């Protein structure tokens, strides 16, 4: 699970092996300089079922050096992997009770007509689109154990083209690749992620987006703690009770109260036996 968490944010420090240009208005539209500024999402970090998870995605056009708008924009989001300390698996059709977007499916696509380019020097001319994705979580949704939080990983798939240019730009996150594709495309040297962009583009992908994730954890029930506290209190009381009665005269006030309590308990037991005997 730790390895998967490490790959969620690796894109921020990625190094590219190739800088071959795509046939669009930007020489390298999928470079981290653009990809890392394109999506911004706010995610509910950890929830307790049956609470719902909300992922709010803001999509910005980071190509401030262009005058063309991003058009024909398609953004697909989907939950694709489940992990705990002891379990790690893809979410398939056989996965029981996965989180569902709006209670319908594990994946959803939203479309936007156009987004003008961002103007980083003028906050009044910042254009963006946003979408809200509510993931419904039921009490039957797998959530790990009381001592191990379950993490669900969410992937993104974004495609668009620039106005007046038919070439489609495609950006995907980790979850859109198989393990084999990812391991072939990404290597690690001295702690840095090295991406083979030649291989990446052979898959029809221009750049990489970060995944996101959310956690589900069921709180530890309170009744075991209550039982432990009650048991500890009972043992403490019994210890004090026998100590006082075994040492007469040392604690007269407590001794008097305990003898009174003993008498009441004996009276209660006698009445109970009498009622059962009737």
Q: Which of 65, 77, 75 is nearest to 24 (CA)?
A: 65
- Torsions phi, psi of 119, nearest 5? -115, 95
Q: Measure the N-to-C terminal CA separation of the chain; round to a whole number of Å.
A: 66
- At residue 1, the pLDDT reads 56
What does the alpha-carbon distance between residue 163 and residue 175 come to, in Å, rounded to a whole number? 29
Using the structure block, give the residue that is written with the tokens 């009044």.
Answer: 124
Where do the domains of the chain lie?
2-216, 223-277
Are 149 and 213 in contact by the 8 Å Cβ rule? The answer is no
What is the structure's pLDDT at 41? 87
- Structure tokens given for 257: 């109260």
Residue 32 has a CB neighbour count (10 Å cut-off) of 17
- Numbers of helices and strands, H then E, in the chain: 6, 16
Helical residues (DSSP H) of the chain, grouped into ranges = 2-8, 32-35, 179-185, 197-202, 223-246, 252-277
Residues 6+ apart with CB under 8 A from 219: 48, 146
Determine the pLDDT at residue 171: 98
Along the chain (278 residues), what's the average pLDDT of each consecutive run of 10 residues? 50 45 66 92 85 93 87 97 93 95 96 85 66 92 86 97 92 96 90 89 96 89 81 87 84 83 80 70
Q: What is the pLDDT of residue 25?
A: 61
Helix, strand, coil percentages, rounded to 5, for the chain: 30, 35, 35
Cα–Cα distances in Å, from 183 out to 161, 163, 191?
A: 28, 34, 15
Domain spanning 2-216: which CATH class is it, in words?
Answer: mainly beta
Q: In degrees rounded to 5, what are phi and psi of residue 170?
A: -125, 130
Q: What is the pLDDT of residue 231?
A: 87
Q: What is the pLDDT of residue 15?
A: 44
Q: What's the pLDDT score for residue 215?
A: 93
Phi, then psi, of 186 in degrees rounded to 5: -115, 130
68 close to 25: Cβ distance less than 8 angstroms: yes
DSSP string, 13-37: G-EES--PPPSSSSSSTTSHHHHTT
- Alpha-carbon distance of 119 to 30, in angstroms, equals 19
């Amino acid at each position: 699970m730790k390895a998967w968490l490490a790959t969620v944010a690796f894109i921020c420090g990625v190094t590219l092996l190739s800088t071959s240009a795509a046939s669009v208005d930007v020489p390298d539209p999928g470079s981290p300089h653009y990809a890392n500024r394109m999506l911004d999402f706010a995610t509910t970090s950890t929830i307790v079922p049956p609470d719902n998870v909300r992922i709010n995605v803001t999509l910005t056009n980071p190509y401030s050096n262009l005058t063309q708008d991003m058009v024909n924009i398609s953004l697909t989001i989907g939950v694709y992997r489940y992990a705990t300390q002891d379990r790690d698996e893809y979410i398939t059709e056989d996965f029981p009770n996965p989180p569902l977007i709006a209670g319908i499916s594990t994946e959803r696509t939203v479309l936007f007509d156009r987004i003008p380019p961002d103007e980083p020097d003028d906050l009044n001319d910042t254009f963006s689109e946003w979408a809200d994705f509510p993931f419904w979580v039921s009490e039957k949704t797998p959530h790990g154990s009381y001592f191990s939080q379950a993490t669900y990983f969410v992937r993104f798939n974004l495609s668009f083209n620039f106005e007046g240019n038919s070439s489609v730009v495609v950006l995907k996150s980790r979850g859109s690749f198989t393990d084999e594709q990812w391991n072939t495309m990404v290597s690690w040297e001295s702690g840095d992620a090295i991406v083979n962009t030649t291989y990446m583009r052979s898959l029809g992908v221009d750049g990489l987006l970060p995944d996101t994730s959310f956690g589900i954890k069921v709180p530890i029930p309170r009744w075991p703690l209550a039982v432990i506290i009650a048991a500890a209190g009972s043992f403490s009381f019994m210890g004090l009770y026998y100590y006082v009665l075994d040492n007469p005269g040392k604690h007269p006030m407590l001794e008097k109260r305990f003898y009174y309590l003993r008498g009441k308990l004996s009276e209660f037991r006698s009445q109970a036996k009498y009622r059962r005997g009737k």
